[in-house]
Structure 1
Amino acid sequence: MSEGSAVHQWLCWGALYLLAARVALSSETRRPCPQSCHCNSVLQEVNCSDGQLTTVPNSLPQNTKLLNLTHNKMKTLVHWQFQSLPQLLDLDLSDNIMALIEVEAFLGLERLITLRLARNHLKIIPVGVFAGLPELKLLDISSNEILVFLDFTFRDLTALQFFKAADNDLVFISHQAFTGLTSLQELHLDGCNLTAVPTEALTQLSGLRSLHFHQLGLATLQNYSFRQLEHLKELVITSWRWLETLSGNSLFGLNLTSLTIRHCNLRAVPYIPLHHLVYLVYLDLSFNPITDIHRNLLGELLRLQELHLVGGSLLRIEIGAFKGLAHFKLLNVSRNLLTTLEVGAFHSVDTLKTLGLDNNPLACDCRLLWAVPRRLYLDFRGNPPTCTTSDQLQGRYFLDFTESELPGLLTCRQPRILNRRPREVRVDQGHTVGVYCVAEGDPLPSVTWISPQLKPLSSIGRIRALSNGSLEVRYAQPQDSGAYLCVASNAAGNDSLPVSLHVRAFPLSSEKHFRLKGWFAFPSASPGLSGKQNIPFDVKTLMVAATIGFLSFFSSVSVCFIFMFFWSKSRGQIKHTATIAYVPRSAVSSSNGGKGNYMETSRFTMKLI
């Protein structure tokens, strides 16, 4: 045998030996797949779902990375339960009947990234349960029966980024419960029995970026509820069925880019709590009974791009409602009670890309004419607006109109004030007067009143404009006299009618008067109205008052004398004189200034009747 062939033979035998040794070694470390599970050696996955298991199987492959133990009957996890699975990355224990997890049950799973314990029967999580999970990124303990989070419950989860604790029976979260969650970015606290936002506990989450609250029974959001969460970008509040108001500083300290408050009981847009959110891009107030979006109150939301208010009670969006929103791109107000949406509501209609206006009782007239030329590039979200209040256009979509039809279809009629004869109203001082102003037009015009000082009159005050279009002046005063202007306006124009009001002052010269000068030092109660400092009295009234006063005084004195007479007669022997000693004030002063204590006294004698 040549030297070359010998070397070749030794190499072959060596290779066979090494192969046999590797096979023997791998057979020693490989474990059979448990009977109730399905193993995938390629994906290193073990699926034991629906296996009727009451405990975690012992003979799981050591190289398992994905372990599914859902839909079983496991009640307890004991200490070091998974110590034989050091490679495990994903563990799902959802949908069991888990009631107890012992301390350090997950110790040894140093590479675990996701842990799901949802839909079990856990009532409390002891401190130390999550020890030994330095790489855990996601924890889901939703739909359990947990009542309280104790201090330092999650202190070992320093790498945790996503935490879901929805649909528990939480009544209290201890102030230090979230201590240690320095990397947490998203937190879900939904469907709890909390009576207030756990403000103190949330202050431990300085890096939190997304916070979700669902189905809480709070009626108001208190001031400073989310203080020290300066990195929070998304706040989601949904299904707070009793939530009616947000306190003025409830969102103070936040720099949100996205805010959602859906399925609550807000009756107005929370303008004051929102005004400092200058970085807000997305706002969703859908499914709240909000009736109006008022003008000039959203302008501080400089970066707002999207507003969703679906399924509300919107009756009107006022002119200038979105003034200042230069980046406004999407408005979704579907399923409301709007009859129109005028172009004047927007800061710049050219920036608008998406408009949801369907399922509103729209009156297709000139107020919506601005939207028709933009129908080719304006996204109506697949549901173009429908005309519902016009008999001629009822049921037709905007996209159905042709260019030739538009001039005769989307029209308005300018307002006209009825009964235009010149008006001059006279009233005595102190009386109440009403002036009516009725107008017609299509759409129905709004009526406003302008004061003689050229200021619009509001619906409150002594001089006010009523909802039916009339002007009411209560307790008229001379200074109320002047020219008032009734203005009726709609999208097609306006009409006006001046009304002259004359208030006759109290007649001062028709009866005899005199003034009591020097008797009264107080000023007139209403110097702005009368400008007088003397108080007028009628002679007849003064004489009657003086007579009544004299008779009352005489009667009282007479009764006192009669009583004293009979009382003295009934006492028998009565001493008719009395001597009274007193010290004059001058004597007291001189005695105080002197060296002695002697004070001279004086006497006088009084004779009794």
Structure 2
Amino acid sequence: MFEGIAVLRWLCWGAVYLLAVSVALSSETLPPCPQSCRCNAALQELNCSGSQLARVPDDLPPNTKLLNLTRNRITALVQRKFQSLPQLLDLDLSDNIVAVMEVEAFLGLERLVTLRLARNRLKLIPVGVFAGLPKLKLLDISSNEILVFIDFTFRHLTALQFIKATDNELVFISHQAFAGLTSLHELHLDGCNLTAVPTEAFTQLSGLRSLHFHQLGFATLQNYSFRQLGRLKELVITRSRWLETLAANSLFGLNLTSLTIKQCNLSAVPYVPLHPLVYLVYLDLSFNPITDIHGNLFGDMLRLRELHLVGCSLLRIEIEAFKGLAHFKLLNVSGNLLTTLEAGAFHSVDNLRTLGLDNNPLACDCRLLWVVPRRQHLDFGGNPPTCSTSVHLQGRYVLDFTEAELPGLLTCRPPRILNRKPQEVKVDQGHTAVMYCIAEGDPVPSVTWLSPQLKTLSPIGRIRAVSNGSLEVHYAQPQDSGAYLCVASNAAGNDSLPVSLHVRVFPSSSKNPFRLKGWFTFPSASPGVNGNQIITFDVRTLLVVATIGLLSFFSSVSVCFIFMFFWSKSKGQIKHTATIAYVPRSTVASSNGGKGNCVEKNRFTMKLI
């Protein structure tokens, strides 16, 4: 028994000795940690962050894989400064004051994967700085003072997949700046001082999948700005307060699945540029001053699933706004000026899964009745819609209504036109006719006017529907006569009222006018009230016109004679003496090869003396 205990004791002491020897040996092989830095031998990490270093230390352990030199005062990176770190995978030089990088500054870092140079003072990146980085995949040069990208700036980074270059002062990107970036998948750029999208430079990035463009410095996105980026799937344009419009073909050639244009100055949804994006799934137009979503204009984007319009100025979403979007699952219109959202705006409300409708001045009436039965299947993001404009429901959540309350709370009153008496408006040709249509209802009905041909009249043109519900006919013509129809409608129904218009032709100012029937044909003229085009002339008017014409003629002739008289006087006395001389002459000439004779007759000559 005692022998077993002794053996066990010897084994324990042997294990302790071997452990001590191994620790001693390992401590001898590990290089010392540089002063003012912190080392982690297990992770092979060297952390020199916040050490007030003015340059990169010389005594760095060669087996370091992670090197953190952030928040120091390093001003320059000299040539081949890191060649003693062949195992380095991650190098972070952010938050320094680096203004100069020499050519081949990173030569020797053949295994480096990540390089961060954010928040320094770089103005220019010389060609050859990134030589010797065959495995680099991420480069962060954001928040510097870079002005230009010259040709072949990144040509050695053949494995690079991600570049972040935001918050710089770029004014020019050379056509060959991105040459060699055959593996680049994601690019983040600022364009605040660029005059246009660097289209030619982008043609070098045939494999690009995601492009983030921030702070564009121009008002219009030009046609074919992103041509030859056929593999691009995500385009993000943000914080561009000057961007107001997108040219019709600005997105032509792209096969995007995700498009974000937010925090810009778009006043309307860019329907035409969006037309070719048939593969689009995600669309974000948040924080733009967009006021309306019109009906039936999203129909070409059949695959669209998400639409974000947060913090815009939306006043209305029209019926059939999302018609044709059979896969539409998410709509976020939080923080707008919407008073309602009708079920008729959607292709199918059954497909909808997420609805952001909070922070809108909603009127809780029958137009929102469709939301309540689907509240168990809809995700409101923790912010259910709240009644705002209805006095008796103000502050209540739409989802709190019980089934018993719904019939008496979420109600609408159909429209009713107040002036129901038959109207007949008469006006002289060339004058303005106004037809009134006043309607009431809850919600307030919209008023539409139809022409005698039952065509909807627009708010512009000679015959236009005014916002107050009236119809104005300017410079009325006989062909404008007919029965116009006023239609008042809201979610509860509609009401209509016909109004008759009769336009009288020009009244005659003479008892016996002179009339010409069928003498002239005008291509744009329409038949008159009686079916014939009558052109009426007043005799008195004809006499006045003829008199004025004769007086003008005689005045012109008199002026001409007076002018000739004074001109002749200025030339002196006119000569009256003349001499007439008789010149007999006979000439015989041969013609036709000497055959036949020709005799020239005598002639008179006269000369004034």
Task: Give the deviation of 1:516 after TM superposition.
Answer: 11
User: Are the aligned partners of 2:170 and 2:190 in contact in 1 as well (CA < 8 Å)?
Assistant: no
User: Are the aligned partners of 2:75 and 2:99 in contact in 1 as well (CA < 8 Å)?
Assistant: yes
- Deviation per residue, 1:363-404 (Å, 9 max, x gap): 000000000111122111100000010111000001211111
Residue 370 of structure 1: SS of its match in structure 2? coil
- Do the aligned partners of residues 234 and 482 (structure 1) sit closer, same or farther apart at CA in structure 2, a change above 3 Å counting? same
| Residue 270 (1) aligns with residue 270 (2) | yes
Task: Give the deviation of 1:511 after TM superposition.
Answer: 2.6
User: Are the aligned partners of 2:130 and 2:154 in contact in 1 as well (CA < 8 Å)?
Assistant: yes
Task: Give the deviation of 1:290 after TM superposition.
Answer: 0.4
1:143-292 equivalences under 5 Å are 143-190=143-190, 192-292=192-292
Rounded to whole Å, the distance in 1 between the matches of 2:382 and 2:204 is 45
The corresponding residue for 1:392 is: 392
Residue 126 of structure 1: SS of its match in structure 2? coil
Instruction: Extract unaligned runs of 5+ from structure 2.
Output: 1-17, 580-598
Rounded to whole Å, the distance in 2 between the matches of 1:446 and 1:515 is 47
Task: Give the deviation of 1:77 after TM superposition.
Answer: 1.4
- Do the aligned partners of residues 309 and 606 (structure 1) sit closer, same or farther apart at CA in structure 2, a change above 3 Å counting? farther
Residue 205 of structure 1: SS of its match in structure 2? coil
- Do the aligned partners of residues 566 and 373 (structure 1) sit closer, same or farther apart at CA in structure 2, a change above 3 Å counting? closer
1:469-488 equivalences under 5 Å are 469-488=469-488
The corresponding residue for 1:54 is: 54
- Do the aligned partners of residues 99 and 557 (structure 1) sit closer, same or farther apart at CA in structure 2, a change above 3 Å counting? closer
The corresponding residue for 1:110 is: 110
1:56-75 equivalences under 5 Å are 56-75=56-75
Q: Which amino acid aligns with 1:137?
A: K
The corresponding residue for 1:511 is: 512
Rounded to whole Å, the distance in 1 between the matches of 2:55 and 2:318 is 64
Task: Give the deviation of 1:464 after TM superposition.
Answer: 1.5
Rounded to whole Å, the distance in 2 between the matches of 1:364 and 1:411 is 8
Rounded to whole Å, the distance in 2 between the matches of 1:71 and 1:600 is 121
Rounded to whole Å, the distance in 1 between the matches of 2:507 and 2:605 is 60
**TM-score (norm: length of structure 2):** 0.88
User: Are the aligned partners of 1:577 and 1:605 in contact in 2 as well (CA < 8 Å)?
Assistant: no
The corresponding residue for 1:421 is: 421
Task: Give the deviation of 1:536 after TM superposition.
Answer: 4.9
- Do the aligned partners of residues 373 and 601 (structure 1) sit closer, same or farther apart at CA in structure 2, a change above 3 Å counting? farther
The corresponding residue for 2:431 is: 431
- Residue 526 of structure 2 is aligned with which of 521, 525, 528? 528
Rounded to whole Å, the distance in 2 between the matches of 1:256 and 1:602 is 98
User: Are the aligned partners of 1:105 and 1:129 in contact in 2 as well (CA < 8 Å)?
Assistant: yes
Task: Give the deviation of 1:428 after TM superposition.
Answer: 2.0
- Do the aligned partners of residues 324 and 603 (structure 1) sit closer, same or farther apart at CA in structure 2, a change above 3 Å counting? farther
Aligned pairs, number: 572
The corresponding residue for 2:454 is: 454
Rounded to whole Å, the distance in 2 between the matches of 1:101 and 1:424 is 85
User: Are the aligned partners of 1:477 and 1:529 in contact in 2 as well (CA < 8 Å)?
Assistant: no
Rounded to whole Å, the distance in 2 between the matches of 1:19 and 1:426 is 113
Task: Give the deviation of 1:268 after TM superposition.
Answer: 0.4
User: Are the aligned partners of 2:437 and 2:469 in contact in 1 as well (CA < 8 Å)?
Assistant: yes
Task: Give the deviation of 1:97 after TM superposition.
Answer: 1.3
**After alignment, is 441-450 or 559-568 more displaced?**
559-568
Rounded to whole Å, the distance in 1 between the matches of 2:601 and 2:437 is 88
Rounded to whole Å, the distance in 1 between the matches of 2:532 and 2:186 is 71
Residue 502 of structure 2: SS of its match in structure 1? strand
User: Are the aligned partners of 1:514 and 1:539 in contact in 2 as well (CA < 8 Å)?
Assistant: no
Q: RMSD across aligned C-alpha pairs, in angstroms?
A: 3.2
Rounded to whole Å, the distance in 2 between the matches of 1:63 and 1:256 is 44
Residue 326 of structure 1: SS of its match in structure 2? coil
Task: Give the deviation of 1:528 after TM superposition.
Answer: 3.4
Rounded to whole Å, the distance in 2 between the matches of 1:302 and 1:45 is 51
Q: Which amino acid aligns with 2:195?
A: T
Percent identity between matched residues is 79
The corresponding residue for 2:549 is: 549
The corresponding residue for 2:124 is: 124
Task: Give the deviation of 1:128 after TM superposition.
Answer: 0.4
- Do the aligned partners of residues 450 and 35 (structure 1) sit closer, same or farther apart at CA in structure 2, a change above 3 Å counting? same
Rounded to whole Å, the distance in 2 between the matches of 1:378 and 1:533 is 65
**After alignment, is 527-536 or 436-445 more displaced?**
527-536
- Do the aligned partners of residues 302 and 564 (structure 1) sit closer, same or farther apart at CA in structure 2, a change above 3 Å counting? closer
Task: Give the deviation of 1:414 after TM superposition.
Answer: 0.5
**After alignment, is 509-518 or 361-370 more displaced?**
509-518
User: Are the aligned partners of 2:515 and 2:534 in contact in 1 as well (CA < 8 Å)?
Assistant: no
1:130-149 equivalences under 5 Å are 130-149=130-149
| Residue 351 (1) aligns with residue 389 (2) | no
1:569-584 equivalences under 5 Å are 573-576=573-576
User: Are the aligned partners of 2:171 and 2:191 in contact in 1 as well (CA < 8 Å)?
Assistant: no
- Do the aligned partners of residues 77 and 550 (structure 1) sit closer, same or farther apart at CA in structure 2, a change above 3 Å counting? closer
Residue 355 of structure 2: SS of its match in structure 1? strand
Instruction: Extract unaligned runs of 5+ from structure 1.
Output: 1-17, 580-597
**TM-score (norm: length of structure 1):** 0.88
Q: Which amino acid aligns with 1:357?
A: L
**After alignment, is 501-510 or 138-147 more displaced?**
501-510
